[in-house]
């Protein structure tokens, strides 16, 4: 009996069901909104002015005035006479109420308005404490990432994480393919790797990204009935098994197309050298860039392997 292909309507339904991501974009939790309030307060308090021209007089923080200016900036942008109904508490209170009730887009607008004021103050006001724009944005990005909310800030502007090319073209497709094929082990490890990344646990991120890569190979080998040691085989022998099973074409072993060597020497090597296996006597601090590279490599390899599996099985 002929096996019918998946027609357009079925593919579309599956694409909608499996449009998965490690971030959310339509909801901003209350806890995150409060963290933004305190982040803004802490940043504004690093700027100061003097009440009088007395040389030794300490600087007075401009926090109150800054929040009032932020409220005015938002009212001007949205064409509103007031930002919130009860304005008796002043600018700081207005922003607290506003951030608890406004839409997701308005939250991002508010952060951008805050960053705009921060940049202006950098050029015009004295500093009580030195805090750079990059440090502020790094803190904001950490807050959003910890809550799995997919927005980032750079040079004063917000953007969706899925607007970034690698995330849109590599990470999301990898996760979608794993869900479509039901590779549960790899799904859990890939999502856990991203969770570690969002919380700054970069060494654990390396480990789980490599595990997701290995689990994908194991799942494919099991599906096609190729024998291997499920308990002992790690990335390198699993790659060899994938070559033997033609998941990875044998032609890729030639000197001109040594894809197998790339697979063996990239992601597993990063994990061994920077992660637990490479710690030695002195523990290594794994930096964010290595974790990000590991996630993107894992996603790229997962897409390649699952697509090859699909080509083999029709």
Alpha helices of 169-245 — where are they, by DSSP H?
Answer: 172-181, 184-198, 202-223, 235-244
Output the pLDDT for position 37: 97
Q: How confident is the model at residue 273 (pLDDT cuts 50, 70, 90)?
A: low
Q: How confident is the model at residue 87 (pLDDT cuts 50, 70, 90)?
A: confident
Least confident of 28-42, 99-113, 245-259: 245-259
How many residues does the structure list for the chain?
314
Phi/psi at 127 (nearest 5 deg)? -115, 130
**Higher-scoring residue by pLDDT: 88, 92:** 92
The string of pLDDT tens digits covering residues 164-184 is 877 888 888 899 999 888 899
The string of pLDDT tens digits covering residues 134-168 is 999 999 999 999 999 999 999 999 999 887 877 88
Output the pLDDT for position 172: 87
3-state helix, strand, coil in the chain (%, to 5): 65, 5, 30
- Distance separating alpha carbons of residues 196 and 8, to the nearest angstrom: 37
- What residues contact residue 18 under an 8 Å CB cut-off, 6+ apart? 176, 179, 180
With a threshold of 0.85, does the pTM exceed it? no
Q: Was domain 164-313 assigned CATH 1.20.120? A: yes
Give the pairing type, strands 157-160 and 126-127. Answer: unpaired
Sequence ranges of the domains in the chain: 30-160, 164-313
């Amino acid at each position: 009996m002929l096996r019918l292909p998946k027609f357009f309507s079925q593919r579309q339904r599956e694409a909608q069901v499996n449009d998965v991501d490690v971030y959310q974009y339509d909801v901003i939790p209350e806890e995150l909104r409060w963290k933004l309030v305190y982040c803004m307060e802490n940043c504004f308090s690093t700027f100061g002015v003097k009440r009088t021209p007395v040389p030794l007089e300490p600087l007075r923080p401009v926090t109150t005035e800054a929040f009032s200016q932020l409220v005015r900036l938002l009212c001007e942008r949205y064409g509103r006479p007031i930002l919130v109904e009860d304005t008796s508490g002043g600018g700081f209170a207005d922003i607290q109420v506003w951030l608890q009730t406004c839409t997701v887009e308005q939250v991002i607008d508010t952060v951008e308005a805050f960053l705009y004021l921060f940049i202006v103050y950098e050029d015009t006001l004295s500093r009580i404490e030195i805090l750079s724009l990059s440090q502020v944005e790094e803190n904001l990005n950490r807050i959003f990432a910890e809550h799995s909310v997919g927005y980032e800030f750079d040079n004063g502007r917000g953007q969706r994480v899925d607007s970034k090319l690698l995330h849109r073209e590599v990470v999301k497709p990898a996760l979608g393919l794993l869900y479509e094929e039901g590779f549960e082990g790899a799904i859990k490890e890939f999502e856990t790797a991203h969770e570690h990344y969002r919380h700054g646990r970069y060494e654990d991120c390396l480990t789980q990204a490599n595990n997701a890569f290995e689990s994908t190979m194991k799942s494919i080998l099991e599906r096609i009935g190729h024998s291997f040691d499920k308990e002992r085989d790690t990335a390198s022998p699993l790659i060899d098994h994938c070559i033997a099973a033609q998941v990875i074409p044998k032609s890729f072993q030639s000197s001109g197309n040594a894809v197998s060597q790339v697979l063996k020497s990239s992601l597993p090597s990063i994990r061994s050298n920077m992660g637990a296996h490479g710690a030695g006597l002195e523990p290594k601090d794994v930096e964010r860039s290595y974790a990000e590279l590991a996630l993107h490599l894992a996603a790229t390899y997962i897409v390649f392997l699952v697509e090859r599996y699909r080509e083999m099985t029709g």
